[in-house]
Structure 1
Amino acid sequence: MREVILRPVALAYEGITTLRNYLYDKNVLRSEKAELPIICVGNLTVGGSAKTPLSIYLCMQLKGRGYAPVVVTRGYGGRISGPHLIGAEDTAEIAGDEPLMISSKAQVPVVVARDRAAGAKFVSERKLGDCIVLDDGLQHRRLKRDLNILSINVGSEKAIEDFRRAKLLPLGPFRENRDKALHRIQIAVFSERKTTPPPESRHELAALLPPEIKIFRSYFKAKGVYAIDSLVQLKPCKAAAFCGIANPQGFFESLRSEGFELMGGEVYSDHFKFRSSHLERLRRDFPGLPLICTEKDAVRLQGLDCGSICRFETDLEVVNGEGLLNAVMAVMQ
């Protein structure tokens, strides 16, 4: 019954997005060319696909090769529209949690701009760097890019099946027609939520992608669990976990794989704005236990009492990362 009701809405949504993309493809709607190379990292579905960790990874790798990357991002959940350069005084409520996390982990300039073309112009005018990583910008077609990298969540059977079925909103998670969008992609990264390297064999979804797309695989390397207020490392023990992210199960499973015995957990909506009352309730529900959250959640706890709260630190790793970086650098020569 639900599908019968929502199918006309999904068809209308597909028609609108397909027409918009067609008008950009035919230059009826104009895309602006930036002065600097643009590397776009995005996805085709709503929810987490590790695109922001992939943006952080690219920035760190580019820095290692002597480049000065700048991230331009929307700043979802924040109040400002930008362009705005992230500074020490910014909070998640003002600028969004992901810009702050990128700035902290990648140690690069981060510009929040809902208008990405204006953001790219801001970067050039301020001479903030020599290339731009466009975080979550695949559908923002008003800004031309030199390379489109697609991050695909394959961290669960449901995510794999969703990508295979390719149902559009509101019937499914897709933001636009999968097969049409794939022809704009040069690189695809299949992202696992596991903290162990994936097998080197091709992923089963690779058959759905055009053959010219270069395919890579990624996973999350665990760095450890650290107290937010003291940075002391927490060794595996009995604990409780909480998070406000798009794919919480991968977080819980990763903690278990690192040896933590989870006595309970709490899941909030993605980009959830935590208040003192939420932390007080967690301490009442799990007395005497350390409370573990993600790095993205920790950004949203700024200014709150973080006693007994720890964050699980991870870094995204790409299998054959050298090959990915070479493909990225090829467009910047």
Structure 2
Amino acid sequence: MWLERQWYRKRLHPLLYLLTPLSLLFWLLTNLRRSLYRFGILKIYQAPVPVLVVGNISVGGTGKTPTVIALVELLKSEGYTPGIVSRGYGANAQYPHVVTTDDSPELAGDEPLMIRQIADVPVVISPKRADAVRQLVAEHPDVDFVISDDGMQHYALGRDLELILVDAERGLGNGWLLPAGPLREGPWRLRGARWVISLYAQHPFAHYVGEVKAQPWRRVIDDEEVELPERTAFHAVAGIGNPERFFTSLQHQHIKLESTQAFPDHYRFTADDLRQYQNKTLLMTQKDAAKCRGIAADNWYYQPISAHFPEKFNADLLEAIRHIHK
């Protein structure tokens, strides 16, 4: 957590200078790998249907999951039959794995399971995205469009479109590649890219700006929509890419927090982790709620979010997709 906080400061922390040789090595290896794919030395799998990759060039939460769900809804509204592939971070499944609504977060991973339950489209997980797409189109021949949840740097999977998300609030941090900074690829990756979108605010590289809207609160134990109790002391936890964003959103809703606790992204909560909140009113994200349902008290709540894009973006993207389908 300390390291991530330093990544998103404008100036390089003195201790991070020790990591800059590793960042240079990272740059060298990633460029070599990209060149091997570009010149055909490493094989690229081209799916029989169009593929759109949703990703970013930085570590941490940029809103990929709500974006993927919003894109599914957009495609479905136009008569497409989309499917999704994802890495399945933290999953214990044998890959590739077709996610079902009855899977546990431990089996399928928290984000793929949440997407499967909300979007109601086929989802296949595998660290090798190409294998996931092969399995997806084999088991669901009606799928005519594939969305890859993350995978921007997985060049073994051919893609027709890339949607790059930028965190407008945190930007590109100190501008260094991993591990001295938060970047998987340099800012050059955004220059000239057609589909760069920022959420929460405008970013200099973004051509479109989307927004994330909070939805009504739900109770963790049974998913019932509820109103938060009044005159109650609230506590909040978050195990997501950018926990501070969740805590700040609660403050913007004029929810007074007695305490906050951040956990690593994709954290697997145990009863011991949250025992101190058993008799307290606890707020969390939807992703965390999926992992806490079996240990939750009846006064724990989560808030779903949804991504929304300007009509210009929707129209431009659909036109590009129709062109691919010709």
Q: CA deviation at 1:3?
A: 3.4
2:271 matched to 1:263?
Answer: no
Q: Distance in 2 between matches of 1:119 and 1:8?
A: 35
| Distance in structure 1 (CA, Å) of the matches to 2:316 and 2:61 | 21
Q: Of 235, 239, 250, which residue of structure 1 is paired with 2:228?
A: 235
Report % sequence identity: 30
Paired position in structure 2 for 1:152: 166
Tell me, in whole angstroms, the C-alpha distance in 1 between the residues paired with 2:103 and 2:64.
Answer: 22
Q: Is 1:130 the equivalent of 2:164?
A: no
Output the CA distance in 1 between the equivalents of 2:49 and 2:172. Answer: 37
Distance 1:105 1:300 in 2: 15
Amino acid at match of 1:243: A
Aligned length: 307
Structure 1 segments (4+ residues) deviating >4 Å:
none
Superposition deviation, residue 303 in structure 1? 2.6
User: Quick check: 1:277 aligned with 2:276?
Assistant: no
Compared with structure 1, are the counterparts of its residues 219 and 101 closer, same or farther at alpha carbon in structure 2 (3 Å cutoff)? same
Post-superposition Cα deviations, 1:177-198, rounded to whole Å, max 9, x if no partner, equal 331x336843011122xxxxx5
Code of the residue aligned with 1:186 in structure 2: it is: R
Q: Deviations over 1:71-113 (max 9, x none)?
A: 0000001122521111133111111101011111211111111
Where does residue 7 of structure 2 map in the other structure? Answer: none
Are 1:224 and 2:216 an aligned pair? Answer: yes
Q: Is the 8 A contact 1:109 1:128 kept in 2?
A: no
Cα distance in 2 for residues equivalent to 1:307 and 1:236: 12
The separation in 2 between residues aligned to 1:75 and 1:143, in whole angstroms, is 16
Deviation of the 1:328 alpha carbon: 4.7
Partner residue, 1:332 = 325
The alignment status of 1:318 with 2:326, answered yes or no, reads no
CA contact (8 A) 1:236 1:261 kept: no
In 1: Cα distance, 2:247 partner to 2:316 partner: 29
> Which residue of 1 is the match for residue 72 of structure 2?
59
**Post-superposition shift, 1:128?**
5.2
**Structure 2 contact 17–180 (Cα < 8 Å) conserved:** no
Aligned to 1:249: 244
Equivalent-residue separation in structure 1 for 2:300 and 2:24 (angstroms): 45
Gapped runs of 5+ residues in structure 2?
Answer: 1-13
Q: Matched residue of 2:204: which SS?
A: helix
State the distance in 1 between where 2:319 and 2:261 align: 40
SS in structure 1 at match of 2:137: helix
Matched, 1:102 2:97: no
Contact 2:61–2:242 under 8 Å retained in 1: yes
Give the equivalent residue in structure 2 for 1:195: none
Alpha-carbon contact 1:37-1:131 (below 8 Å) kept: yes
Q: SS state of the match for residue 245, structure 1?
A: coil
Partner of 2:61: 48
CA RMSD of aligned residues (A): 2.0
- TM-score, normalized by length of structure 1? 0.86
Question: CA separation in 2, counterparts of 1:248 and 1:302?
Answer: 19
The separation in 1 between residues aligned to 2:30 and 2:160, in whole angstroms, is: 22
| 1:299 aligned counterpart, secondary structure | helix
CA distance in structure 1 between the partners assigned to 2:159 and 2:193 by the alignment: 11
What SS does the aligned partner of 1:329 have? helix
2:176 — aligned with what?
167
> Residue in 1 aligned with 2:186?
177
Name 2:197's counterpart in structure 1: 189
Q: Secondary structure at the match of 2:146?
A: strand
For the Cα contact (< 8 Å) 1:227–1:234, is it kept in 2?
no
State the Cα distance separating 1:60 from its structure 2 match: 1.1
Structure 1: gaps (5+ residues) = 193-197, 210-214
In 2, distance between residues paired with 1:312 and 1:29?
A: 43
In 1: Cα distance, 2:291 partner to 2:192 partner: 34
Q: 1:2 to 1:110 in 2, by over 3 A?
A: same
Q: What is the aligned partner in structure 2 of residue 212 from structure 1? A: none
Q: CA deviation at 1:302?
A: 3.7
